[in-house]
Chains A and B, each alone.
Chain A
Amino acid sequence: MVNYIIRRILQSIPQLFLISLVLFLLMQAFGDPIASLGVRTPPKPADRERLRRQLGLDQPVYVQYVVWLAGNDWMKIDMDGDGVPETPGKRLGVLRGDFGNSLINKRPVSELVTERLPNTLLLMGVVEIVIIVFSLAFGVYSAVRQYSLFDNLFTGFSFIGYAMPIPLLALLLMYLFSINFKEWGLPYLPTVGMFDPQVGRTPGQIALHMILPVVSLSIISIAGYSRYVRSSMLEVLGLDYIRTARAKGLQKHIVVIRHALRNATLPFVTLIGLDIPFLLAGAVLTETIFAWPGTGRLFVTSISQSDFPVLMGILMMTGLAVVFFQLVTDIAYSFLDPRIRIA
């Protein structure tokens, strides 16, 4: 087990390096970040040149990458443009936990991301719980009452839900529950933001503002996973040990929950763990539509500003999270299912 974990970590290190290098090179093609400062672009060419030197953008790409990775506190940089390096560098580099500063507002990337991260984690945590609860409930119920009215209706809905593009789903929900409900004089849900500025950041406000983003992020996954739970439940319910348990005189719901569900949901653990990247990606759209102040929205604004230190920071943290969750999923699965051995 320990060997396996160490090997997986060792394997993922060169992969993270490779992907960071590729992303870094791609971001060089984003266009001049100085020009995308908009009104804050210094009008004089000399000032622009100085700003470029301060941000280290005058260096060749490979030097920029090394500085991004390992920092520049071990070398001197040329700040006044006379060709002689004189100022000692201050950056520590990603390897020492310094993701650099935003090109736009000069704030440290780690600060910008950690400011937004709790909001995204809150949203994703709730979404994950909603997905697990509802896909288990719908999937099990559909399997136990196979071909019942509920099963057939839900099968239809799940195929439609699975085919829904996130923007359409989000817009439909907003239109129905915010705009139409307001017109009809019913209690309506807020559309954008995280809380009403007039009320303040109270848990109640946040919960109210979370309903629509959570629903629009989770419906697609619930549609897919409940089908999965249903089919694996059906498979397990047909096995001999279930019949034995029923023949012993155990009640149906005990057999379904204790005996069948446990085995049927084992593969589900893997799905949930591997779902993290999809949720992170979905959060990009959902946070943009619902103006939720999370990392996904930070990513979209940073893309439009070509703010590559922030983008690299978000992407590398996402990559680390994905690697981490893959490993945790594998380990958790081997604990839950003794038949699986990882080596």
Chain B
Amino acid sequence: MTTITLPETSASEGMKNQPLTPGQLMWRRFRKHKAALFALGGMIVLLLYIWLGGLVFSRGICVPTGEFLTAEAYANCNDTAQKLQPPSREHPFGTDTIGRDILARTIYGGQISLTIGIFAVIVEVIVGVLVGAVAGYFGGWVDDVLMRVTEAMLIIPSLFLLIVLSKAIGGSVPEIQFLGRAFSGSVVVIILVIGFTSWMYLARIVRANVLSLKEMDYISASRALGVSDARIIFKHLLPNTIAPIIVSSTLGVANAITSEAYVSFLGLGVQTPTASWGNMLDSAVKYLQTAPWLWLFPGLMIMLTVLCINFIGDGLRDALDPRSTRNI
């Protein structure tokens, strides 16, 4: 008779076999998407550039006033004697039509553009998730009314809505102080405007998810236990639809940055002297031939950011929803 000896497992090996947390699983799948990983690195570099770049690149003597300026004040210093200078040692990206340093403005414009992107998505998610969840959960006439309104919003292409809304409420918000910086009221306007014109697709996604989830047994059980509607929606339904919400809000940041660029390009978005990547492109068409650095650098910044965010969103889709094999 032979005895079978089981291979002994040491304590440390036992630790290794512990189940991975959802976060670790997600990171494992995200890592497989090489482009997304690369884009994440790129995004971190971009964030460092616009967050800390100001300390390095945005300092110097503002000639007209003779003061030594740093940070945003330097980016807004206009030295008309230095206008439309091509890239040089002193101004690596050149200067704009009234002699402001474009490198410094891409940094502070980037802060504004990204702030707009993130806050507009927060507005978008709040509205989209609420509308989608309420419509899907309550069904009936509530669903009908909310979905017809959502469809009505989709009838007019969102850029038209954006333009009309920015013209209508532009200039009505005063300058505000936030995080130790003065934000032009137009920034707040554009955040609200982009947020309120982009929630429709998210609302539809959330509604579709809630519709299928609410038929599941655990929801019936919660109802039977007398759990309130709000608690069911926020505690039981929404956490289960978090994956598509995260993916579409990531991609939403890229869309919001592009939307801001388009509206500001048409002169209806962020108002100068506050820089944004969009309004830096604004007057560039007139200097197409004479000063290509005016539009090239802010344009490239928008492109790189959108590119990185798109890849990250793509990677997140793979990571959060292993069933999806779409490789668009």
A-side interface residues toward B, CB under 8 Å?
Answer: 11-12, 14-16, 18-19, 23, 26-27, 29-30, 159-160, 162-168, 171-172, 174-175, 179, 191, 224, 227-228, 231, 234, 277-278, 280-282, 284-285, 288-289, 299-300, 303-304, 306, 311, 315, 318-319, 322-323
Q: Is B310 an interface residue (CB 8 A)?
A: yes
| Residues of B contacting A282 in the complex (Cβ-Cβ under 8 angstroms) | 159
Contact A322-B328, Cβ < 8 Å, known A18-B149, A27-B164, A288-B266 = no
How far apart sit A166 and B264, CA to CA, in the bound complex (Å)? 13
Among B157, B163, B164, point to the contact of A278 (Cβ < 8 A).
B157
Query: Interface residue count for B (Cβ, 8 Å)?
Result: 48
Q: Is the interface of B mostly helix, strand, loop or mixed?
A: helix
Chain A residue at minimal CB-CB distance from B151: A15
Residues of B within 8 A of A322 (CB): 154-157
- Known interface pairs A15-B155, A167-B295, A168-B296; 18 further A-B residue pairs with C-beta atoms within 8 A, sorted by A's residue number: A14-B148, A16-B155, A19-B155, A27-B168, A160-B303, A163-B306, A163-B310, A165-B262, A165-B281, A165-B299, A167-B265, A167-B285, A171-B292, A171-B296, A175-B288, A280-B157, A284-B160, A322-B157
Q: A175–B49 Cα gap in the complex (Å)?
A: 28
Chain B residues positioned under 8 Å from A228 (CB to CB): 328
Residues of A within 8 A of B265 (CB): 167, 285
Bound together, the chains give a CA A144 to CA B35 distance in angstroms of 22
Instruction: Confirm or deny: B152 has a beta carbon within 8 angstroms of a beta carbon on chain A.
Output: yes
**Residues of A close to B261: CB separation below 8 A:** 165, 167
Q: List B238-274 residues whose CB lies under 8 Å from chain A.
A: 254, 258, 261-262, 265-268
Q: Identify the interface centre among B172, B254, B261: most chain A CB within 10 Å of its CB.
A: B261
Q: Of the candidates B172, B266, B310, which one forms a contact with A162 in the assembled complex, judged by CB atoms under 8 Å apart?
A: B310
| B45 sits at the interface (CB 8 A) | no
Q: Which residues of B contact A231 (CB under 8 A)?
A: 326-328
Within residues 289 to 308 of chain B, which ones have a CB less than 8 A from any CB in chain A?
Answer: 289, 292, 295-296, 299-300, 302-304, 306-307
* A213→B101 CA distance, assembly (Å): 31
Q: B283 to chain A: closest CB distance in Å?
A: 12
| Cα-based distance from A319 to B158 in the complex (angstroms) | 11
Q: A18 CA to B281 CA in the complex, in Å? A: 35
Please tell me if the beta carbons of B299 and A168 are within 8 angstroms of each other in the complex: yes
A-B contact count (CB 8 A): 137
| Alpha-carbon separation in the docked complex, A26 to B167 (Å) | 9
> How far is it, in angstroms, between the C-alpha of A108 and the C-alpha of B302 when the chains are bound?
40
Contact of A303 with B262 in the complex, beta carbons under 8 Å:
no
Query: Is B37 among interface residues, defined by CB-CB distance under 8 A?
Result: no
Distance A283 CA – B303 CA, assembled complex (angstroms): 20
Cα–Cα distance between A172 and B285 once the two chains are bound (Å): 11
Q: Which residue of A lies closest to B281 (CB)?
A: A167
Instruction: Check: B202 CB closer than 8 A to any chain A CB.
Output: no
Contacts of A166 in B (CB 8 A): 262
CB-contact partner of A160 in B151, B307, B327, under 8 A? B307
Residues of B within 8 A of A16 (CB): 152, 155
Name the A residues within 8 Å of B304 (CB-CB): 163
